Structure 1
Amino acid sequence: MKITLNRVNDNFHFELKNERGHIVNVDSRPEFGGDDQGPSPMELVLMGVAGCSAIDMISILKKQRQEISSFKAEVEGERVQVGEAKPFKDIHLVFYLEGNIKEDKAAKAAQLSFDKYCSVSKTLEPTATIHYKVVLNNVELAKI
């Protein structure tokens, strides 16, 4: 896996490209000297956790022949000062699923993602605690 980074302007706007040609813009907020032309690197980390676990959960539920009509997630990160850096301490995810999905299968899909499959959350495990809950058809199922 390889990513290339090119600086776009004189501040902190960067264009990142993967080997398949997909482009993501990264920047900093104006109060930190950026132009707000893309998410910050730490926002991308949260996006990565949400995207990775969503792919896992949908893959698991499809294999179990569950009918997903809607899948959304929200993720928030709490950071802590460690020297000059501010890594994530806690990450909270809420998954909103709708469809003809059995409750136990939705809860198990989330559990499997975080316990076994999600490489992004496994990368963050040494420094951040990941909490999640699943809301299926407007009913909260699992909260970890």
Structure 2
Amino acid sequence: MKVTLNRVNDAFHFKLKNERGHVVDVDSRAEFGGSDLGASPMELVLMGVAGCSAIDMISILKKQRQEITSFNAEVEGERVKVGEATPFKEINVVFYLEGDINPEKAQRAAQLSFEKYCSVSKTIEPTATINYKVVLNNTELEKVN
């Protein structure tokens, strides 16, 4: 896996491209000297958690023949000062699913994603706590033990 970065302006706007040609804009917010023309690197980390776990969950639920009519997620990260850096201390993920989906299967799909499959979460796990919950058809599900 490889990505390339090219600077776009004289501040912090970059275009990053993967080997398949997909481009992502990265920038810093204006208050930090950027032009706010793209997501920040730390926002991309949260997006990575959301995307990775969503792919896992949808894949698991499709294999179980669950009918997903809507799938959304919200991811929030809490950062903490460590020297000059501010890494994530805690990440909270909420999945919103709708459809004819067995609640136990939905909750188990989330559990499997974070405990076994999601490489992004596994990369972050040593330094940040990742919490998740599943809301199915407007009802928050209980955790599976």
TM category, shorter: over 0.9
1:142: Cα distance to partner? 3.4
Counterpart code for 2:9: N
**Displacement of 1:143:** 5.0
Q: Which residue of 2 aligns with 1:108?
A: 108
Q: Which residue in the other structure is 2:83 paired with? A: 83
SS at match of 2:107: helix
2:118 aligns to what?
A: 118
The CA distance in 2 between the partners of 1:64 and 1:51, in whole Å, is: 20
Distance 2:84 2:95 in 1: 33
Task: Supply the distance in 1 between the matched residues of 2:30 and 2:130 (Cα, whole angstroms).
Answer: 29
Q: Is the 8 A contact 1:25 1:37 kept in 2?
A: yes
- Flag as ranges the 4+ runs of structure 1 deviating above 6 A: none
State the identity %: 81
So what's the TM-score if we normalise by structure 2? 0.98
Aligned equivalents of 1:142 and 1:17: distance in 2? 40
Q: Is the 8 A contact 1:12 1:27 kept in 2?
A: yes
Q: What are structure 1's unaligned runs of at least 5 residues?
A: none
Q: Does structure 1 residue 31 correspond to structure 2 residue 31?
A: yes
How far did residue 44 of structure 1 move? 0.1
- Structure 1 residues 142 and 52 mapped into 2: Cα distance closer, same or farther (>3 Å)? farther
**Map of 1:1-144 to 2, 5 A cutoff?**
1-142=1-142
What are structure 2's unaligned runs of at least 5 residues? none
**What root-mean-square deviation, in Å, do the aligned CA atoms of Structure 1 and Structure 2 show?**
0.9
- If the length of structure 1 is used for normalisation, what is the TM-score? 0.99
Q: Does the 8 Å contact 1:131/1:143 carry over to 2? A: no
Q: Letter of the aligned partner of 1:22 in structure 2?
A: H
